[in-house]
């Protein structure tokens, strides 16, 4: 069984400030981890993914995430927020093995204040 918990359904930051979106996972086997972004009335766009290579993963738009096995975490960060980063962010897990479905967290709505 696998699950994802995203702490904080809403996060607000000022433009130029650090963005930190939290994700903790549960998986009985080594996981694959993903961050997706969803803009209003659109589909999900992949930001980055962890597939057991480097623990620090760099994605698009300046985002990165660090896999910490001891903490079962995969938090998403960006050093300096931009107005265009305002969106909903979803963390997802898939376990290595035959099951390929993604299990999503409930999402974090990011607001960027001018």
Taking CB under 8 A as the criterion, the residue among 21, 63, 103, 112 binding another protein is: 103
Q: How many residues does the chain have?
A: 114
Per the CB < 8 A criterion, the answer to whether 18 and 63 are in contact is no
Instruction: Please give the structure tokens belonging to residue 25.
Output: 């996972």
Please identify, using beta-carbon distances, which residue of 22 and 49 lies nearer to another protein: 49
Contact set for another protein, span 82-101 (CB under 8 A): 90, 92, 94, 96-101
Taking CB under 8 A as the criterion, the residue among 26, 45, 55, 80 binding another protein is: 45
Taking CB under 8 A as the criterion, the residue among 28, 41, 70, 84 binding another protein is: 41
Which is nearest to 35 in space by CA: 58, 52, 15, 17?
58
The span of 11-19, 35-43, 66-74, 76-84 binding another protein (CB under 8 A) equals 35-43
Chain positions contacting another protein, by CB under 8 A: 32, 34, 36, 41-46, 49, 51, 90, 92, 94, 96-107
């Amino acid at each position: 069984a696998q699950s994802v918990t995203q702490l904080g359904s809403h996060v607000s930051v000022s433009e130029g400030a650090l963005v930190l979106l939290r994700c903790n996972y549960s998986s009985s086997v080594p996981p694959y981890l993903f961050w997706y972004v969803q803009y209003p009335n659109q589909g999900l766009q992949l930001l980055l993914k962890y597939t057991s290579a480097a623990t620090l993963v760099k994605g698009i738009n300046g985002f990165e995430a660090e896999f910490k096995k001891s903490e079962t975490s995969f938090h998403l960060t960006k050093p300096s927020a931009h107005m265009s980063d305002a969106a909903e962010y979803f963390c997802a897990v898939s376990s290595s093995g035959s099951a390929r479905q993604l299990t999503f967290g409930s999402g974090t709505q990011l607001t960027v204040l001018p």
